[in-house]
Amino acid sequence: MSENLVDIHNEKLSFFTPAGEVKALNDVSLYVRPGEILGIVGESGSGKSVTAYSLMGLTAHPGRLTGGDIYFNSHHINRMTEKEMRRIRGNEVSIIFQDPMTSLNPVYTIGNQIREVILLHTKRTKKQANERACELLRLVGINEPEKRMKQYPHEFSGGMRQRVMIAIALACEPKLLIADEPTTALDVTIQAQILELMMSLKEKLDMSIIIITHDLGVVAGMCDRIAVMYAGKVVECGTTDEIFYQPSHEYTKGLLRSIPNLYEREHKKLVPIQGLPVDLLDLPEGCPFATRCPNCMKVCMKHMPEYTYLNDSHYSACWLLDKEKFMKKQRGALT
């Protein structure tokens, strides 16, 4: 276990809202190895952001961890106090958010915001911090950093702001960078720039990246491994090739079938996933995907499938993959 940078075991997290308990995460288990890029894909509400935020101890009120353990770099995250957490946050693990327009403070200069992180976490003087900030801006491909440091966020374009966010996140050379939909708000040509920058920085700084996205194209080009989430559960996890070429969960297959392929020579009809996403206030007893699954069986409605390991890296939670366990449960469900 210790060789993994991140280890999440059976994490359960709920938001206790006036309308009831919203079960955002139901038994999430994940790991990230040092130096790898893990992609978390899923639709809105599948819990991909919540998982990443809880790793940084950033669960918003009224959310609460209701079970499970989170380990990061041998820290036991869910047992740490806020004070201890602050030392790690921004230092060993950093995050870039989806919207570069709102995640920078409009009333402080860019230089000020980068310096803040450096002064907080390292023993540098203000002058050294300034130099470091310039160096960081140069690293993320911003020209004339000395001049740009004195500017405010509104003077930067969307892509440039995301570069500044990356510079802030990398200020203390974290071991893990969490990128929460880093390019969703950007145009495709700018998206290509940012993704390329992230890849090259990963090589330079030898860190791990968790990239959260709903775009299967983004993960295909970048990630070593992919976790597919649905209704607060990792339904399938494997290497990028395994997920794309040997998908084993019906949800993953459905997702892959429902995206149009630009390079397709003939016009084929898209095959959408039928139905609507589940209501997290009222989760079904069995597999959450059962109602939308084309191969739904009786056992799926009653019992949550366990993970079946197809090989060392590839596992998936579907009854169809595990005949033996399925027969046992099916008999149980019938009697």
Partner 1 sequence: MEDKKLVEVQHLKEYFPVKGERPFERKYVKAVDDISFYIRKGETFGLVGESGCGKTTAGRTILRLYEPTSGKIFYDGKDITHVNMLPYRRKMQIVFQDPYASLDPRMTVGDIIGEAIDIHHLATNAKERRDRIVELLSLVGLNTEHANRYPHEFSGGQRQRVGIARALAVDPEFIVCDEPVSALDVSIQAQVVNMFEELQERLGLTYLFIAHNLSVVKHISSRIGVMYLGKMMELADSYELTFHSVHPYTRSLISAIPIADPKAARAAHRIVLKGDVPSPVDPPSGCRFRTRCPYADELCAAEEPDWREVSPGHFAACHHLDRVKDEKPVTD
Work out how close the CB of 19 gets to partner 1 at its nearest, in angstroms, rounded to a whole number: 13
Work out how close the CB of 213 gets to partner 1 at its nearest, in angstroms, rounded to a whole number: 9
With both helix axes pointing from N to C terminus, report the angle between 158-169 and 110-121 in degrees, rounded to the nearest 10. Answer: 10
Q: Which is nearer to partner 1, 81 or 189 (CB)?
A: 189
Q: Which is nearer to partner 1, 223 or 300 (CB)?
A: 223
Q: Residue 109's closest CA among 40, 164, 166?
A: 164
Q: Which is nearer to partner 1, 62 or 217 (CB)?
A: 217
Work out how close the CB of 299 gets to partner 1 at its nearest, in angstroms, rounded to a whole number: 24
Work out how close the CB of 1 gets to partner 1 at its nearest, in angstroms, rounded to a whole number: 28
Cα distances (angstroms) measured from residue 10 to each of 13, 42, 71, 128:
10, 18, 12, 43
Helix (H, G, I), strand (E, B) or coil at 1: coil
Helix (H, G, I), strand (E, B) or coil at 125: coil
Euclidean distance between CA atoms 247 and 144, whole angstroms: 47
Work out how close the CB of 295 gets to partner 1 at its nearest, in angstroms, rounded to a whole number: 16
Work out how close the CB of 165 gets to partner 1 at its nearest, in angstroms, rounded to a whole number: 16
Q: Which is nearer to partner 1, 281 or 327 (CB)?
A: 281
Q: Which is nearer to partner 1, 166 or 299 (CB)?
A: 166
In the chain, beta strands by DSSP E: 6-17, 20-32, 37-41, 63-72, 75-76, 93-96, 176-180, 208-213, 225-230, 233-239, 308-309, 315-316
Could you tell me if residue 113 is left (phi over 0), alpha (psi between -120 and 50 degrees) or otherwise beta? alpha
Work out how close the CB of 241 gets to partner 1 at its nearest, in angstroms, rounded to a whole number: 6
Q: Which is nearer to partner 1, 292 or 325 (CB)?
A: 292
Work out how close the CB of 220 gets to partner 1 at its nearest, in angstroms, rounded to a whole number: 5
Which residues are at the interface with partner 1 (CB under 8 A)? 43-44, 157, 159-160, 187-193, 195-196, 214-218, 220-221, 240-241, 244-245, 254-265, 267, 269-274, 276-277
Q: Which is nearer to partner 1, 106 or 260 (CB)?
A: 260
DSSP string, 25-84: EEEEEEEE-TT-EEEEE--TTSSHHHHHHHHTT-PPTTEEEEEEEEEETTEEGGG--HHH
Tokens for 108?
């402080």
Per the listing, tokens 């509400």 go with 45
Burial 83-113 (b: 16+ CB within 10 A, else e): eeeeebbbbbbbbbbbebeebbeeeebbbeb
Burial class (CB in 10 A: 0-12, 13-18, 19+), 182: buried
Work out how close the CB of 115 gets to partner 1 at its nearest, in angstroms, rounded to a whole number: 25
Q: Which is nearer to partner 1, 255 or 321 (CB)?
A: 255
Q: Which is nearer to partner 1, 226 or 299 (CB)?
A: 226
Tokens for 211?
């990239």
